[in-house]
Amino acid sequence: MHTDREYLAAGYVIGGLSADEAAEAERLLHEDAEFAREVADFEETMALVAADDEPMAPSEEAAQAILSIPRQNILAASGEPVRGSAPERGPVTGPGRQVRRNRPALYFALAASFLLLLCAVLGGVALRAQAENEQLRETVAGLDAEQQEVQRLLGAPDLAAQHVEVGDGSSVTVSYSVTEQLILVTPHDMEGPEEGQDLQMWIIDQDGAHDAGLMTAEGPAVVTGPSFSADAAVGITVEPEGGSEEPTSEPLVVAEL
Amino acid sequence: MNPPASLGGPDPCGELLVRTASGDAQAFEELFRGQGSVLLAVILRIVRSRALAEEILQDVFAEVWEDCSRFDPGRGSGRAWLITVSRRRAIDRVRSVSAQRERDTAHGEGQLRQESPDVQYEALENIESARAARAVQGLPEDQARAIALAYYHGMTHVEIADHLGVPLGTVKTRIRDGMRRLRTSLGVTDAH
């Protein structure tokens, strides 16, 4: 296959083509059997890559919601209870889609909508208060700075990562670049500390543990602190609120860089 | 290992999709029992939130029930089709959440930040996850990274070039060569 067509087929499957390229790929897909075969082969390739993933069983709640989809759609379309393993499918209607999600998910969606509305109202109040407005600007500026650091990390030639299991089902990924002197700590399913406590990060080297800032269990944190080398480690401990000058508890996690 | 379905091997997943398209609820259930956990893992690699991943999985199977007549057994395997649908829905959701967050930030409402998957953080996570996959491990790092940023993160090739600081042509070459190498190493077909 022509080199450009091979790229088009690969890009069509993994995404990221420009609009013109995607349109050309769509045209070829319908008009050129060889190209269609190439796309199918690449789709099969990515399916086999996915097969390397550890399968993850859906929760019972999700399973029940999914298994009820045929019945829910048929009920919504016909208005009558339907039993049997191979029913005739009726036309899919608006109501059919509305009942697709399980009830708890609907409650969560309603709660989320309410919270969004609340955030909007509170945001409006805050914008009217000069002091809070200033604080908001600083927060947004902080987010921008953090985004820029993550972008620098993404582009680092020596970008590497360590994934460490905590032992209670949670885990932590430490992404880092010695060249850029940046470390990003990302918790997964980690429980937050109790009231009056904080999670504190440490850079550990031959001189001991150095304060690297606080983090939350809810989201990624960029490490701030002393410079580090490739033979350092990153640790996380539970400390009194505000953090400590030295670790006062056994580390939850130590990730060797 | 069975030959890939695209090479004429057995495709039980494709057969279930065809039966599902005719309204066979039993086939739909077998499809979910057999593929649900694989698809959830695919989605979770992209969105990194189990609750969100399960919600997207529900959307995927709703699409399967409502619209799987779009699956063409002559064009590829059932599992490849399902994974393509799952990946597309996951990427769409991440983009949607990310765009919502940008709108909220623009209005000074950064509260959503901790609730939302961050595409940049996800990219970092997924690059490493992709490296862990046996097939991807065999790729040169620059090719694996370009493919992971497009496939798991949904970045355009122009964005990837910008992120990596290399010309767009280099990204295209890395993607083409990497995909060709992956395809060959997984035995899907010989390079043309």
Tens digits of residue pLDDT in A17-52: 999 999 999 999 999 999 999 999 999 988 888 777
CB A67 within 8 A of CB B29: yes
- Residue span(s) of chain B under CATH 1.10.1740.10 come to 1-117
What local confidence, expressed as pLDDT, does residue A94 receive?
Answer: 33
Tokens 């001189």 map to which residue? A207
The residues, any chain, with a CB within 8 Å of residue A137's CB and separated by 6 or more, are none
- Residue span(s) of chain B under CATH 1.10.10.10 come to 118-192
ipTM summary value: 0.78
Question: Which chain A residues touch B36 with a CB distance below 8 Å?
Answer: 57-58, 63, 66
SS3 per residue for A174-208: EEEECCCCEEEEEEECCCCCCCCEEEEEEEEECCE
What local confidence, expressed as pLDDT, does residue A27 receive?
Answer: 94
Cut 0.80: pTM above it: no
CA angle B72–B74–B78, rounded 5-degree value: 55
Residue B54 phi, psi dihedral angles, 5° rounding: -70, -35
Tens digits of residue pLDDT in B118-174: 544 555 555 555 544 666 677 888 898 899 889 888 889 999 999 999 999 999 999
Q: Alpha-carbon distance A46 to B148, whole Å?
A: 11
Q: State which fold the B1-117 domain adopts.
A: Rna Polymerase Sigma Factor; Chain: A (1.10.1740)
Question: To 10 degrees, the CA torsion angle through A200, A203, A208, A210?
Answer: -60
Q: Alpha-carbon distance B37 to B41, whole Å?
A: 6
CB B29 within 8 A of CB B72: no
Domains detected in chain A: 3-49 (no CATH), 160-256 (2.60.40)
Indicate yes or no: CB of B150 within 8 angstroms of CB of A16: yes
List Cα–Cα distances, B15 to A114, A115, A197, B71, in angstroms.
44, 44, 55, 10
Comparing alpha-carbon positions, the chain A residue that sits nearest to B156 is A16
Q: Alpha-carbon distance A125 to A108, whole Å?
A: 25
Residue pLDDT tens, chain A, 257 long: 665 899 999 999 999 999 999 999 999 999 999 999 999 999 998 888 877 777 889 999 999 999 999 887 766 665 544 433 333 333 333 333 333 444 444 444 445 544 454 444 444 544 455 555 565 556 555 666 666 777 777 777 777 777 788 777 788 888 888 888 888 888 888 888 888 888 888 888 888 888 888 888 887 888 766 788 888 888 899 988 888 888 888 888 888 88
Indicate yes or no: CB of A52 within 8 angstroms of CB of B135: yes
For the cut 80, the answer to whether the pLDDT of residue B77 exceeds it is: yes
Which range scores top for mean pLDDT: A38-52, A141-155, B59-73, B92-106? B59-73
CB A52 within 8 A of CB B137: no
Would you give the distance in Å from CA B52 to the centre of its chain?
15
Minimum distance, in Å, between the CA of residue A212 and any CA atom of chain B: 19
Domain B118-192 is found in CATH 1.10.10.10: yes
CA angle B121–B125–B126, rounded 5-degree value: 115
Q: Is A94 on the interface with B (CB under 8 A)?
A: no
The residues, any chain, with a CB within 8 Å of residue B78's CB and separated by 6 or more, are B5, B11, B12, B13, B14, B15, B16, B17, B71
CB A174 within 8 A of CB A161: yes
Indicate yes or no: CB of A15 within 8 angstroms of CB of B91: yes
